Amino acid sequence: MGWFANNLIETILIIGVILLIVEVVVLGFSTFFLTFTGLAAIATAIIMWAGLIPETFTWTIISIAVFTAVFAALLWKRLSKLQNTVDYHRADSDLIGHTFVLTENVEAALPIKQKPKYQFSGISWYLNAHEDLVKGTVVEVVKADVGSLLIRAKEA
């Protein structure tokens, strides 16, 4: 406890930085409480270093509480807008463009559970196609969904 009391400003600054790192790296910026508290701890350390408030545990707690409320009031709307942005763009898959030779016929009209499977990368993928494809056809993957691949005949 003696080291903490003798190095209060440095300790509060380190705690603030650690809270910000945990918020961003571990929690993925999903909660704002640690962000507000981390910023408040850093602001408190700066104000104590400038000599504007005494270096006591009581003033530290009061200052962090007040700054946390201030940062929450000032930044809440802006930060919550960051969380509300949704990217609907489909992620590109490494499977798209993959070519292979069919070992079974693929009928477009069959339900998904009755379609043939293709073993790739340790996963059994159902094979979908917009047209009927015969065994031995060289095909390429056009789209990858959960558990299924949309394929088409590869043009020579």
Which pLDDT tens digit goes with each residue over 82-98? Answer: 777 776 776 667 788 88
**48: confidence class by pLDDT, cuts 50, 70, 90:** very high
More confident residue, 94 or 136: 136
Which neighbouring-strand residues pair with 118?
Answer: 125
Averaged over 127-133, what is the pLDDT? 90
Q: What percent of the chain has pLDDT over 70?
A: 94
- CATH 2.40.50.140 placement within the chain: 99-153
51 φψ region: left (φ > 0), alpha (ψ -120 to 50), beta (else): left
Most confident of 37-46, 92-101, 123-132: 37-46
Measured CA angle at 70 (ends 64, 71), to 5 deg: 85
Which of the 8 DSSP states describes residue 30?
-
How many angstroms separate the CA atoms of 63 and 60, rounded?
5
Which of the 8 DSSP states describes residue 113?
G
The CATH topology of domain 99-153 is: OB fold (Dihydrolipoamide Acetyltransferase, E2P) (2.40.50)
The pLDDT score that the predictor gives to residue 91 is 64
What's the pTM? Answer: 0.55
How many angstroms separate the CA atoms of 145 and 152, rounded?
15
**What mean pLDDT is reported for the chain?**
87
The pLDDT score that the predictor gives to residue 1 is 61
| Residues contacting residue 124 through CB under 8 Å, at least 6 positions apart | 117, 118
The pLDDT score that the predictor gives to residue 140 is 93
Retrieve residue 156's tokens. Answer: 């020579």
E strands present in the chain: 99-101, 117-120, 123-129, 138-145, 148-153
The pLDDT score that the predictor gives to residue 17 is 95
The pLDDT score that the predictor gives to residue 156 is 65
